[in-house]
Amino acid sequence: MSDKKPPVFLAISKNRRASFDYELTDKFEAGLVLLGTEVKTLRDGQADLSGSFVTFSHGEAWLRGVNIPEMQGTPYSHDGKRARKLLLNRREIEKMQRAVDRDGMTVVATLMYFKDSKAKVEIALARGKKNYDKRQSLKTKDADREARVSIARGRKG
């Protein structure tokens, strides 16, 4: 028996729009290179992942489009929309880059969280949905919601 504790998981921000606009496939966990004021802002739960995406340059992955607001009252704060380096394994970067180049996919951030006091971001390979795919997703979501409501009513009565 090991005395190892499970990791502590604290969600900061979720990109709900990603699963609506994209068909998400492979997911990866990446570390973030952050400044001190960015970490303090994230601890307050302030981050916006909508519109975020990953770019590749010189064998490195960069997270762009994430807004971590500047800290108020500090003279030397960070730029809220700057590109942030992602800490990934070389094989993971190559796999994502091949999918982007060959298959026309994109990489989007879906979730930002703290795991054992380290800031992490969940990124996913994504393929854009057409409008009819989005309508189908809404129909499925509505049907699931109606089923849950009817089951809940059945339990009460």
pLDDT number for residue 109 = 95
pLDDT number for residue 155 = 74
User: Domain 9-130 in CATH: superfamily?
Assistant: Small protein B (2.40.280.10)
pLDDT number for residue 20 = 82
The overall pTM is greater than 0.85: no
d(CA 144, CA 63): 34
pLDDT number for residue 2 = 59
pLDDT number for residue 64 = 94
pLDDT number for residue 54 = 94
Q: Is the pLDDT of residue 121 over 90?
A: yes
Q: Domain locations in the chain?
A: 9-130
Q: Is the pLDDT of residue 27 over 80?
A: yes
- Nearest Cα residue to 13 out of 123, 124, 121: 121
Q: What is the mean pLDDT of residues 107-136?
A: 88
Beta-sheet strand order (sheet of 106-115): 9-14, 106-115, 118-128, 22-32, 84-87, 60-64, 53-57
Q: Is the pLDDT of residue 49 over 80?
A: yes
Tell the residue number behind the tokens 């601890």, with chain if given: 43
pLDDT number for residue 97 = 94
pLDDT number for residue 96 = 94
In percent, the amount of the chain with pLDDT more than 90 equals 43
- pLDDT tens for residues 57-99? 999 999 999 998 887 777 777 777 889 999 999 999 999 999 9
